[in-house]
């Protein structure tokens, strides 16, 4: 059963106010919410008088109206539904195979074989010397499709507004991100919109957290609280590109943040990973270590960009690239994968 992507998107009802949805999160300061109640464009610009772009302004009426349309979609039920179509399952297994990185694949977030992840007394040098083994691959055991109409409606509206901004001259540059996930296009799921840099990416986490995300979406304020490397004594790490939702191109990278749990049906220790549709829009590619999170934030909320592509591969020769999204409506947790590691 494919996702109902044929519905009209981007409903923007004439006369309805479009309050700003901008939320700025910080580890050190209280969360900031824009108090703009309606979009008022600055001449020859996509920005509102409040300083935030048009795609950050979405009316409650449009979200409600689109949600009503989604109720008529092809989904027969709501929530997580197990996928049984062999074509989709085979395509997803191939995607895990192709996105596995076989060499140069360890980072400090994988952990130390002596102290674990962020273990007491473990330094970066210790972790590097005693690297936790990286799996040789992954075997898919179960897949669930997230049939959450409310999240899907919000995602489609955000995507439509961003697509309009990407079409403004000069058109947004097409960024090839996670090309292996395009295998899914032949597996019963609709293709992605390349014009607004829509991608399928991975997010590894605990099984309970993955199910929670499928219900209420991501919470950017939790960035750095998982397996991210932390300084001694700190409960939260400092996310490299600021507080946002971090996604991986490679299943191997996302697997670093997955936590094993026992699957009673299989009697096996398995892990959870999400496949997430993301709208990258006009992405800001960062290729150096000269990173200022506040400056990145301004280009997203007050400037032309919609996401950050943390490219630590091309110049820094690090193992992975990652994508950071700061507005959770630009993400839709599409599939929940339950898989087994093998070594």
Enter the tokens of residue 10.
């981007």
pLDDT of the residue at 329: 94
- The pLDDT, as a whole number, for residue 327 is 92
pLDDT reported for residue 253: 98
Q: Which two tokens stand for residue 11?
A: 């409903």
> What's the pLDDT at 60?
65
Orientation of helix 149-167 relative to helix 60-70, angle to 10°: 120
Position of tokens 């934030």? Answer: 297
The burial of 43, by beta-carbon neighbours within 10 Å (0-12 exposed, 13-18 middle, 19 or more buried), is given as exposed
DSSP 8-state class, residue 182: G
pLDDT in the model for residue 120: 86
Q: What is the pTM of this model?
A: 0.83
Cis peptide before 174 (omega within 30 of 0): no
What residues of the chain score a pLDDT lower than 70? 1-15, 24-32, 44-45, 59-74, 185-188, 221-238
Q: Are 253 and 312 in contact (CB under 8 A)?
A: no
Q: What is the 3-state secondary structure (H, E, C) of 12-27?
A: CCCCCCCCECCEECCC
8-state DSSP, 328: G
């Amino acid at each position: 059963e494919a996702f109902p992507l044929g519905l009209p998107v981007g409903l923007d009802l004439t006369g309805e106010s479009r309050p700003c949805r901008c939320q700025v999160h910080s580890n050190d300061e209280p969360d900031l919410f824009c108090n703009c109640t309606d979009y008022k464009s600055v001449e020859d610009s996509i920005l509102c008088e409040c300083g935030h772009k048009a795609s950050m302004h979405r009316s409650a009426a449009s979200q409600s109206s689109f949600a009503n349309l989604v109720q008529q979609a092809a989904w027969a039920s709501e929530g997580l539904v197990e996928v049984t179509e062999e074509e989709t399952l085979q395509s997803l297994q191939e995607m895990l195979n192709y996105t596995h990185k076989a060499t140069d694949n360890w980072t400090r977030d994988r952990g130390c074989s002596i102290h674990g992840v962020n273990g007491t007394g473990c330094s970066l040098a210790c972790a590097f010397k005693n690297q936790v083994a990286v799996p040789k691959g992954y075997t898919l055991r179960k897949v669930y499709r997230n049939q959450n109409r409310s999240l899907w409606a919000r995602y489609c509206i955000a995507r439509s507004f961003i697509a309009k901004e990407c079409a403004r001259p000069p058109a947004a540059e097409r960024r090839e991100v996670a090309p292996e996930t395009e295998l899914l296009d032949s597996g019963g799921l609709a293709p992605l919109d390349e014009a607004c840099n829509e991608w399928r990416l991975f997010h590894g986490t605990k099984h309970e957290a993955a199910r929670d995300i499928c219900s209420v979406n991501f919470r950017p304020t939790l960035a750095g609280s998982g397996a991210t490397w932390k300084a001694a004594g700190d409960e939260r790490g400092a996310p490299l590109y600021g507080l946002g939702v971090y996604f991986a191109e490679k299943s191997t990278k996302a697997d670093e943040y997955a936590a094993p749990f026992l699957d009673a049906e299989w009697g096996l220790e398995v892990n959870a990973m999400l496949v997430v549709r993301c709208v990258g829009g006009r992405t800001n590619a960062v290729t150096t270590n000269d990173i200022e999170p506040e400056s990145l934030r301004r280009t997203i909320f007050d400037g032309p960009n919609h996401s950050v592509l943390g490219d630590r591969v091309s110049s820094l020769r690090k193992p992975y690239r990652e994508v950071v999204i700061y507005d959770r409506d630009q993400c839709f947790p599409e599939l929940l994968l339950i898989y087994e590691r093998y070594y």
